[in-house]
C-alpha cells in the first residue's frame, strides 16, 4: 500500500477548502453539517445584461458534493443515501472530484478536477443501486457507491475559470426547462414498455370466468399483486389490499361489420365485438364472442367440436334505456323475422375479407311471441313519429309500451284505416250538436308518449243516438288529416285550425273540451 502524507479525512478537508477558493468569482455557501448529500451551494451572480431588474432571470444555483482522491487512483466513493439526495434534487447538482499528488517532501497539490453533472448515466446508476438495495433488503446508508471519474468526460484544469465554465455549460437551460427535464428523467429512466405487471388469482366456473372477461359479470378474485420492473429489477407495489375481492373487466371492443337480411329489408350496422383473451379459451377449451350491432346482440360460443349462436337484445340496453325509436323498430323487426320467415346474417371484423354467414330461423322460439309483439309496437311508434315530423325521436321501450294502444291504433289509421273497426264516443245531452242527421266532424285527440304529446286530427261522419242521460256518437270510419307533436293546448288548437275545416270540432283526450267527451276506438 502506498504511504500517504495525509489521511483521507485531512485530504477531504483540504479539498473542500480548495473548492471554495476556486469559487472566488461566485457566491459559495458551505453546509456545516453534511447530512443532505452535498457540501456547498454555489450561486452565480445576478446578470447585468441590460434587462429591467424585474425581468432578468434568476441566477444559476447548484448543489455540489466535493470528493477528493489521490491522483494515482481514478475513483471516488460516497454513500448511496448521499448520492440519492444529490441526484434527486430538482435543481442542478454536481460531484466535484479533486485529484491530489504529493511530492518527495510530502507536500501536496491538486492536479486535476472532474465535474460530474448529476444527470444521465450517474442518475441511472444511483437509481438502479437503490432499487437493488430494496430488493436485497439493505439500507442505502450502509452501501457505498464507487464512481470512476474518467467515465464522465475529460479532466478539467484546477482553475476558477474552468469550474465556472463547467457549471455554466451544464446549467445552460432556464430554470423551468431544467426542472421539467430533471423530473421527467427521475420518473421515466429505467422503465421498459411493459414495466407493470398484475398477477390475478381467481376462481369460478368456466362459463362465469368467460363472462367476467367479456365484462358481463364481476370476476371473483382471491388475490391481486401488482409488480413493477425498473432496470430489470422487479418489485411489488402496494396497489391492492391483500385478500379476496371482485374485479370488473372492461374488454376492448373490435370493429365488426354486420348485415342482417330479412324478407322485408336489409339492415347494415357498424358493430362492435368483444372476445375473451386468447389465454383464457386456451386454458378452458372454449371461446365466446359477443357482437353488438345497433340494439342487437349476437353471441357466438364454440369449442373444438361445437358451434352455437344466439340472438337477443343488447344486454347493455335496458328496457328503460332511451334510444331512437327507429333503432328499437329495427331490433325487433329482425328478431321477429327469425321466428317467422327467417333472417340471414353476415359478420366480419373490419380487417377481414371473408365474412361469417349465418341463417336464423326458429318459429318455435319461446321468445317469439314477445319479439313479434314488440315488433308491431315499435314499428307503429316509428311510423307515428315519422308522420309527426320527428323521425329521430327517442324513447324507452317502457314508454312506448305504456302508450301502445294509442300508437298501434293511430299507425293503423294512417296506413290501413280499413282494418280499424268503427269508433264511438259519448257526449252529454246538453252539448250543442245536431242529432237528427249524420254530421261532418273534425275530431281532435291528444295523447302522451312519455314526456311528448302527439296531436291527431281526423275527419268523420258521426250519427247520434240518444241514450237518455248521454248521447252516443258512432262512425263507421275516419280519415286522419294530420299528426303533429305539440307542446301545449294552444299549439294543439293551432294545429287543428290548420287542418281542413269540418262542420263541427270535438276535442278529446289530453286537451278535451270543458264539456267532457269520451273517445273510444275499437281494436286494430
* DSSP string covering 260-323: EE-SS-EEEEEEEEEE--THHHHHHT-EEEEEEETTEEEEEEE-SS-EEEEEEE-TTS-TT--E
Cα 59 from Cα 35, distance rounded (Å):
25
- The predicted-structure confidence for 408-435, as pLDDT tens digits, reads as follows 999 999 999 888 877 887 777 777 778 8
DSSP state of 104: T
Q: Dihedral, CA atoms, 93, 39, 101, 170, nearest 10 degrees?
A: 20
Q: Exposed, middle or buried by CB within 10 Å (0-12, 13-18, 19+), for 137?
A: exposed
DSSP state of 178: H
Contact 162, 113 (CB under 8 A): yes
Residue written as cell 371473483? 220
- The predicted-structure confidence for 470-523, as pLDDT tens digits, reads as follows 888 888 888 999 999 999 999 999 999 999 988 888 887 887 755 444 333 333
pLDDT at position 519 is 38
- The predicted-structure confidence for 429-466, as pLDDT tens digits, reads as follows 777 778 888 988 888 899 999 999 999 999 989 898 88
Cα 447 from Cα 435, distance rounded (Å):
28
Where are the alpha helices (H) located in 443-519, listed in sequence order? 489-497
Band (pLDDT 50/70/90 cuts) for residue 267 is very high
Res. 173: pLDDT tops 80? no
pLDDT at position 50 is 66
Nearest Cα to Cα of residue 335 among 294, 382, 287, 393: 294
Q: Could you give the 3-state DSSP secondary structure of residue 378?
A: helix
C-alpha cell at 463: 250519427
C-alpha cell at 102: 504529493
Q: Which residue has the higher pLDDT, 489 or 51?
A: 489
C-alpha cell at 361: 330461423
Cα 114 from Cα 71, distance rounded (Å):
12
Interval 312-324 mean pLDDT: 84
pLDDT at position 3 is 57
Tell me which of 81-95, 239-253, 334-348 is least confident. 239-253
- The predicted-structure confidence for 110-159, as pLDDT tens digits, reads as follows 999 999 999 999 999 999 999 999 999 999 999 999 999 999 989 999 99
Band (pLDDT 50/70/90 cuts) for residue 340 is very high
pLDDT at position 516 is 42
C-alpha cell at 290: 359477443
Residue written as cell 421539467? 180
Nearest Cα to Cα of residue 444 among 494, 403, 407, 395: 494
Which distant-in-sequence residues (6+ apart) come within 8 Å of 290 by Cβ?
Answer: 214, 216, 273, 274, 275, 297, 298, 299, 300
pLDDT at position 1 is 46
Nearest Cα to Cα of residue 89 among 182, 208, 222: 182
% of the chain at pLDDT higher than 90? 56
Residue 476: how many CB atoms within 10 A of its CB? 11
What is each CA distance from 134 to 128, 232, 233, 237, 424, in whole angstroms?
A: 10, 13, 10, 12, 89
pLDDT at position 523 is 33
pLDDT at position 2 is 58
What is each CA distance from 53 to 46, 56, 57, 174, 414, in whole angstroms?
A: 10, 6, 9, 17, 83
Q: What is the mean pLDDT of the chain?
A: 88
Angle at 62 between CA 60 and CA 63, to 5 degrees: 170
% of the chain at pLDDT higher than 70? 95
Q: Which residue has the higher pLDDT, 374 or 32?
A: 374
Amino acid at each position: 500500500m502506498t504511504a500517504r502524507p495525509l489521511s483521507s479525512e485531512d485530504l477531504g478537508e483540504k479539498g473542500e477548502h480548495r473548492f471554495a477558493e476556486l469559487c472566488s468569482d461566485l457566491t459559495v455557501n458551505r453546509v456545516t453539517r453534511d447530512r443532505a448529500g452535498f457540501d456547498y451551494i454555489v450561486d452565480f451572480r445576478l446578470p447585468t445584461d441590460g434587462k429591467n431588474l424585474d425581468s432578468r432571470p434568476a441566477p444559476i444555483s447548484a448543489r455540489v458534493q466535493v470528493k477528493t482522491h489521490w491522483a494515482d487512483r481514478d475513483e471516488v466513493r460516497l454513500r448511496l443515501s448521499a448520492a440519492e439526495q444529490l441526484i434527486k434534487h430538482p435543481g442542478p447538482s454536481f460531484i466535484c472530484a479533486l485529484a491530489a499528488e504529493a511530492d518527495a517532501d510530502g507536500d501536496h497539490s491538486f492536479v486535476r478536477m472532474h465535474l460530474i453533472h448529476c444527470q444521465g448515466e450517474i442518475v441511472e446508476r444511483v437509481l438502479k443501486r437503490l432499487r437493488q438495495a430494496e430488493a436485497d433488503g439493505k439500507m442505502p446508508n450502509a452501501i457505498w457507491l464507487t464512481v470512476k471519474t474518467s467515465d464522465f468526460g475529460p479532466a478539467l484544469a484546477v482553475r476558477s475559470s474552468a469550474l465556472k465554465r463547467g457549471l455554466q455549460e451544464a446549467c445552460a437551460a432556464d430554470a423551468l426547462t431544467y426542472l421539467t427535464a430533471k423530473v421527467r428523467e427521475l420518473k421515466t429512466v429505467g422503465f421498459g414498455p411493459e414495466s407493470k405487471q398484475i398477477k390475478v388469482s381467481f376462481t369460478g366456473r368456466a362459463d362465469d370466468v368467460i363472462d367476467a372477461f367479456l365484462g358481463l359479470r364481476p370476476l371473483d378474485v382471491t388475490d391481486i399483486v401488482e409488480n413493477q420492473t425498473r432496470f430489470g429489477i422487479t418489485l411489488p407495489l402496494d396497489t391492492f389490499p391483500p385478500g379476496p375481492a371482485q374485479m370488473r373487466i372492461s374488454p376492448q371492443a373490435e370493429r365488426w361489420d354486420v348485415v342482417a337480411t330479412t324478407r322485408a329489408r336489409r339492415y347494415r350496422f357498424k358493430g362492435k365485438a368483444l372476445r375473451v383473451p386468447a389465454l383464457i379459451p386456451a386454458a378452458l377449451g372454449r371461446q365466446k364472442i359477443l357482437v353488438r350491432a345497433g340494439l342487437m346482440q349476437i353471441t357466438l360460443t364454440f369449442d373444438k367440436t361445437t358451434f352455437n349462436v344466439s340472438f337477443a337484445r343488447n344486454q347493455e340496453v335496458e328496457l328503460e334505456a332511451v334510444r331512437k325509436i327507429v333503432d328499437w323498430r329495427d331490433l325487433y323487426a329482425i328478431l321477429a323475422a327469425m321466428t317467422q320467415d327467417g333472417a340471414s346474417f353476415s359478420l366480419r371484423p373490419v380487417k377481414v375479407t371473408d365474412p361469417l354467414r349465418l341463417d336464423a330461423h326458429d318459429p318455435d322460439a319461446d321468445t317469439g311471441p314477445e319479439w313479434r309483439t314488440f315488433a308491431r309496437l315499435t314499428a307503429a311508434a316509428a311510423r307515428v313519429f315519422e308522420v309527426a315530423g320527428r323521425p329521430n325521436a327517442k324513447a324507452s321501450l317502457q314508454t312506448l309500451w305504456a302508450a301502445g294502444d294509442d300508437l298501434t291504433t293511430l299507425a293503423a289509421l294512417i296506413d290501413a284505416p280499413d282494418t280499424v273497426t268503427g269508433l264511438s264516443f259519448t257526449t252529454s245531452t246538453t252539448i250543442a250538436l245536431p242529432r237528427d242527421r249524420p254530421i261532418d266532424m273534425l275530431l281532435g285527440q291528444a295523447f302522451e308518449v312519455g314526456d311528448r304529446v302527439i296531436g291527431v286530427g281526423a275527419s268523420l261522419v258521426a250519427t247520434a243516438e240518444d241514450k237518455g242521460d248521454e248521447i252516443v256518437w258512432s262512425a263507421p270510419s275516419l280519415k286522419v288529416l294530420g299528426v303533429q307533436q305539440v307542446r301545449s293546448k294552444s299549439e294543439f288548437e293551432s294545429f287543428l285550425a290548420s287542418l281542413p275545416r269540418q262542420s263541427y270540432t270535438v276535442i278529446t283526450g289530453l286537451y278535451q273540451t270543458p264539456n267532457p267527451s269520451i273517445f273510444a276506438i275499437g281494436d286494430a
